[in-house]
């Protein structure tokens, strides 16, 4: 039976697969933006594919939403919060507390949703402007074409 090791990745692999520099990857780890990877006996970081996925996501979101890393932290924590919540879901000891926690989480999610929606709107407006500009320009070209014969 082959040892089913998920073949750990070195930081350079992660760098190439995520498009982020090694410095940035370590930096994000320091900030707590990504989970700390395992270490070899000698101290070398050993990543799993999961890390690449998270890094890709962070990178995309940062570019798309224009979030600062601090904002990204808040966002990333949402997933963790929900996951953590599930983790100790079975010990239903304090129902009231659990409910409050969930309400809190939903609150933060709604905040983020509003933010994202307002960004969508604004960008949509920008798109409309661009489309209008394009139209103006192409109309200009058509006018040129029409007057082509009569030189």
Contacts of 62 (CB under 8 A, 6+ apart): 69, 72
Residue with Cβ nearer DNA (57 or 62): 62
Q: Is residue 136 involved in binding its own copies (CB under 8 A)? A: yes
> Whose structure tokens read 């990504």?
34
SS3 137: helix
Indicate the helix (H) or strand (E) that contains 46: strand 45-46
The stretches of 46-94 forming alpha helices (DSSP H) are: 49-65, 69-87
- Near its own copies in 4-63, by CB under 8 A: 60-61, 63
Q: Is residue 74 involved in binding its own copies (CB under 8 A)? A: no
Task: Tell which one of 5, 7, 103, 146 touches its own copies (CB under 8 A).
Answer: 103
Indicate the helix (H) or strand (E) that contains 39: strand 38-39
CB of 11 to its own copies, least distance (A): 26
CB of 5 to its own copies, least distance (A): 30
Q: Is residue 110 involved in binding its own copies (CB under 8 A)? A: yes
Segment interacting with its own copies (CB under 8 A) among 8-16, 24-32, 41-49, 98-106:
98-106
Tokens of 95: 């129902």
Task: Tell which one of 53, 64, 87, 88 touches its own copies (CB under 8 A).
Answer: 64
SS3 120: helix
Q: Is residue 92 involved in binding its own copies (CB under 8 A)? A: yes
């Amino acid at each position: 039976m082959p040892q089913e090791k998920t073949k750990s990745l070195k930081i350079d692999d992660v760098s190439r697969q995520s498009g982020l520099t090694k410095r940035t990857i370590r930096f994000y780890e320091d900030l707590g933006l990504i989970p700390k990877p395992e270490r070899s006996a000698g101290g070398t970081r050993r990543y799993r594919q999961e890390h690449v996925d998270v890094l890709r996501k962070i990178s995309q979101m940062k570019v798309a939403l224009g979030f600062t890393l601090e904002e990204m932290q808040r966002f990333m924590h949402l997933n963790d919060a929900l996951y953590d919540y599930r983790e100790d879901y079975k010990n239903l000891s304090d129902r009231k507390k659990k409910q409050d926690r969930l309400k809190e989480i939903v609150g933060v999610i709604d905040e983020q949703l509003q933010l994202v929606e307002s960004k969508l709107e604004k960008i949509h407006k920008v798109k409309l402007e661009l489309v209008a500009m394009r139209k103006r320009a192409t109309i200009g070209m058509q006018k040129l074409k029409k007057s082509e014969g009569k030189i």
